[in-house]
Amino acid sequence: MDKFRVEVIKATPNPQQVMWLAMHQDYAEDLVWEKRDRAPDEAKAGENVIKYLLAGERGHYGPLEHPQITFNVGFFPHSMMQQIRTHRVGVSFDVQCLAGDTEVTFVQASGSLRKIKISELYDLWANGEKAVRERKICGRNNEKPGAYRRDCKKRLQKMPLRVLNEETGEFETSHIKDVICSGTQPVYRLTLEDGKTLDCTTNHKLLTTEGWQRMGEAVGLVSDGEVTKNQKDCWILCNGIAVLDKKISDNKQSRIKAHPVKVAKVEYLGLQTTYDLEVAEPWHNFVANGMVVHNSFRYTGKRILDVVDGKRNVEEVFYLRPVGDYTNRQGKRYSYTEEQRNADLEWCLEACKRYQQRINEGLAEEHARGIIPFDARQHFVMSCNARSLMHLLDLRWKKDAQLEAQKFCELLFQHFQEWTPQLAAWYEETRAKKARLSP
């Protein structure tokens, strides 16, 4: 459980003042916007919200629904994530994504580069390309006459995609396997010292001088409402410096090496529709806006294969409880021994090997993953308001809840205390671990 993480991506600033203003608007004749500068400070606003809305079991929760907070949750077992999904808390399971204006670099037969926005690439992938001529009669599958779009996935899959050979540090070409729309997510803009920019989520992996790192970790991102700052210096590998000792490579391109450029600043852009690519073996990266970024973890397949190849520890991919004494739902005690845990780890490793075998036999990834252990570690983004956050804590921060869910709630509550101190103190005193559902 020491790997479990819950971090705040973004939160409404001064949330208790927002609740106070919403509370007053419920009973005011005039706009509370006119009185916003006369609102009490954050602590006093929180005390008033508790006094007039919550104390004495009043249960007036409406004003608590306005402040929003978004968490990044990592390394929890899949079974715990499934439980969280059932409680009507907005959850997104997209681990890493890019904004729609991001340009993906392809290499043309002449050796020149062609850049296509990832949103346009997804539109072509999902809907096909517009035909030059209109259909005059119904098609063979009863398609209506007029303008139409035709499938172009095979053409897109054949287009040479610029990727980085991570062993030589030189750029080569590979091919797209899939283009994915990952939904609406919080997006940040990285600006490099040479002027390059990249709009991505905090979880998207970038190739830095320290290796593959998630954007938020690489720059030491700190978010406080709309204000962000990066606490760490970071150099991202970019495209490209020509290699002088050999002008023409085996694939007829000028040999280009990646070079590092320092991140100058990071800024929050807001919620945007995001996309990602899945790239063919062996290099799972591509060039986006001139920077080397990782491709999608849409499937757990790459992580599974990394375990077999010795690139990842099996416990980075699968979750097993620590050795110790536990109690089941009926109150019966049992022990989970070192011998049992080692046997389970071996079982996970053997499942990875079977997965690799099925992939080599030609099975689709979504087919082969059916044989892997259920509790693969998951990362996800969870958004909620103060009311739904308390509702989730009511449901899962109790003695008979799954142990991992209780740990999740402990980490969640720490951020709740920092975000709304007075409200969190009231919750801890009156409701915490008592399984009293907030309406």
Confidence of residue 246 (pLDDT cuts 50, 70, 90): very low
Q: Contact, 69 vs 383, CB < 8 A?
A: yes
Q: Name which of 228, 352, 244, 341 is nearest 302 in CA terms.
A: 352
Q: How many angstroms separate the CA atoms of 94 and 106, rounded?
A: 25
Give residues with Cβ within 8 angstroms of 271, minimum separation 6.
184, 185, 186, 187
Give the rounded percent of residues in the chain with a pLDDT score beyond 90: 32
Tens digit of pLDDT for each residue in 126-171?
Answer: 888 887 667 667 766 666 777 777 889 999 999 999 999 988 888 9
pTM above 0.85, yes or no: no
For residues 38-63, give the mean pLDDT: 85
Specify the domain boundaries for CATH 3.30.1360.170 within the chain. Answer: 5-95+378-430
Q: How many angstroms separate the CA atoms of 373 and 253, rounded?
A: 43
Mapping DSSP to helix (H, G, I), strand (E, B) and coil, where does residue 103 land?
A: strand
Q: How many angstroms separate the CA atoms of 438 and 395, rounded?
A: 9
Q: Contact, 201 vs 274, CB < 8 A?
A: yes
Q: How many angstroms separate the CA atoms of 186 and 223, rounded?
A: 11
429: its two tokens? 């005193």
Tens digit of pLDDT for each residue in 21-48?
Answer: 998 887 777 888 887 888 899 999 999 9
Mapping DSSP to helix (H, G, I), strand (E, B) and coil, where does residue 29 land?
A: coil
Q: How many C-beta atoms surround the C-beta of residue 273 within 10 A?
A: 15
For residues 274-283, give the mean pLDDT: 84
Q: How many angstroms separate the CA atoms of 394 and 378, rounded?
A: 23
For residues 368-391, give the mean pLDDT: 84
Predicted confidence at residue 138, as pLDDT, reads 73
Q: How many angstroms separate the CA atoms of 264 and 84, rounded?
A: 37
For residues 394-416, give the mean pLDDT: 89
**Measured at the alpha carbon of residue 83, what is the angle toward residues 78 and 88, in degrees to the nearest 5?**
125
Confidence of residue 320 (pLDDT cuts 50, 70, 90): very high
146 class by beta-carbon count within 10 Å (0-12 exposed, 13-18 middle, 19+ buried):
exposed
Hey, what CATH topology would domain 5-95+378-430 get?
Gyrase A; domain 2 (3.30.1360)
Alpha helices in 50-113 (DSSP H): 78-85
Predicted confidence at residue 252, as pLDDT, reads 46
Q: Contact, 198 vs 261, CB < 8 A?
A: no
Predicted confidence at residue 437, as pLDDT, reads 62
Predicted confidence at residue 3, as pLDDT, reads 87
Q: Contact, 300 vs 317, CB < 8 A?
A: yes
Q: Is the pLDDT of residue 104 over 90?
A: yes
CA distance readout (Å), 409 to 265, 397, 406, 432: 33, 6, 5, 10
User: Higher model confidence: residue 211 or residue 297?
Assistant: 211
Q: Is the pLDDT of residue 296 over 70?
A: no
| Gap between the terminal Cα atoms of the chain | 31
198-235 burial string, b = 16+ CB within 10 Å, else e? bbbbbbbbbbbeeeebbbbbbbebebeeeebebeeebb
For residues 48-69, give the mean pLDDT: 84
Residue 271: beta bridge partners? 186
Q: How many C-beta atoms surround the C-beta of residue 101 within 10 A?
A: 13
Specify the domain boundaries for CATH 2.170.16.10 within the chain. Answer: 98-296
Average pLDDT, the chain: 83
- Write down the residue that tokens 């000028």 correspond to: 254
Predicted confidence at residue 84, as pLDDT, reads 72
Q: How many angstroms separate the CA atoms of 206 and 292, rounded?
A: 6
Q: Is the pLDDT of residue 250 over 50?
A: no
Give the rounded percent of residues in the chain with a pLDDT score beyond 70: 86
Tens digit of pLDDT for each residue in 82-91?
Answer: 777 655 444 4
Going by CATH, does the domain composed of 98-296 fall within 2.170.16.10? Answer: yes
Q: Is the pLDDT of residue 189 over 50?
A: yes
Q: Which of 27-31, 61-65, 176-180 has the lowest mean pLDDT?
A: 27-31
Mapping DSSP to helix (H, G, I), strand (E, B) and coil, where does residue 209 land?
A: coil
Q: How many angstroms separate the CA atoms of 6 and 308, rounded?
A: 28
Q: Is the pLDDT of residue 423 over 90?
A: yes
Q: Is the pLDDT of residue 225 over 70?
A: no
Predicted confidence at residue 91, as pLDDT, reads 41
Confidence of residue 391 (pLDDT cuts 50, 70, 90): confident
Q: How many angstroms separate the CA atoms of 208 and 166, rounded?
A: 12
